[in-house]
Amino acid sequence: MSLRLNDIAPDFHADTTQGPIQFHEWIGDSWAILFSHPKDFTPVCTTELGYMAKLAPEFQKRNCKVIGLSIDPVESHLKWEKDIEETQGYAVNYPMIGDPDLAVAKLYDMLPAEEPGTSEGRTAMTNQAVRSVFIVGPDKKIKLNLTYPMTTGRNFYEILRVLDSMQLTARHRVATPVNWNNGDEVIIVPAVSDAEAKEKYPEGWKTIKPYLRIIPQPASI
């Protein structure tokens, strides 16, 4: 069965470039991003992992851990990290899971269930489903699930933007509108009555429609 939002993220044990982990234990009380790539030593993936290394401190500020995955073994990841630092200017500063038996890829529905049991003989082109992103909350539930095509590198600023929105809306009864960025106006959710809104937002709000009430972003994410 495919994973859906608010499903418990499947737990697993895996070897990584920073040692073995138990996924739920590794997450702890943090948010987490699990992102996968088709294959080591490929061009789009090299740019992606370098850029994620650049942005990793931003995720850390938001109490969000980052972990990568491909079906290559850990030894391959460690060799590839040198190329990433050389070509992208940033050393990989987060663990990468080695998944040569496809166990985690299958657990997270990144590959068809009938896929062969090992990564031997596979190429980037036979791994088209494996460019996925999962954001997992401290409650171990899946908050976001995205899958990108082979030829399209991910926009990690968009993933950071979504994380900001989810953390904000988890603390306040608001939603974020189209193209929202941290600091922009937000929407009072319809479940909050006008009477309750007057208590929460005594300075008032801008009413576009009864179901569309706009306020400045609450002071902190």
Task: Count other Cβ atoms within 10 Å, centred on residue 220.
Answer: 8
Positions of the chain with pLDDT lower than 50, given as ranges: none
The pLDDT of residue 209 is 96
Domain ranges of the chain: 13-154, 172-215
Q: What is the pTM of this model?
A: 0.90
Judge contact between 67 and 14, C-beta under 8 A. Answer: no
The pLDDT of residue 2 is 81
The pLDDT of residue 202 is 92
Judge contact between 122 and 115, C-beta under 8 A. Answer: no
- Token reading at 8: 């418990």
What CATH superfamily is the domain 13-154? Glutaredoxin (3.40.30.10)
64 is catalytic: no
The pLDDT of residue 123 is 64
> Among 79, 6, 11, 94, which Cα is nearest to 41's?
79
CA 64 vs CA 1, 122, 161, 171, 215: distances in Å: 27, 32, 13, 16, 27
CA 203 – CA 201 distance, rounded (Å): 5
Task: Encode pLDDT of 87-106 as tens digits.
Answer: 999 999 999 999 998 899 98
CA 16 vs CA 83, 103, 167: distances in Å: 18, 14, 27
The distance in angstroms from the start CA to the end CA of the chain is 34
The pLDDT of residue 126 is 63
SS3 at position 167: helix
Give me the catalytic one of 14, 32, 45, 105. Answer: 45
- Token reading at 84: 């990433």
CA 130 – CA 119 distance, rounded (Å): 12
Task: Encode pLDDT of 127-164 as tens digits.
Answer: 655 789 999 999 999 999 998 888 899 999 999 999 99
The pLDDT of residue 111 is 75
CATH architecture of 172-215: 2-Layer Sandwich (3.30)
13-154 and 172-215, same CATH topology: no
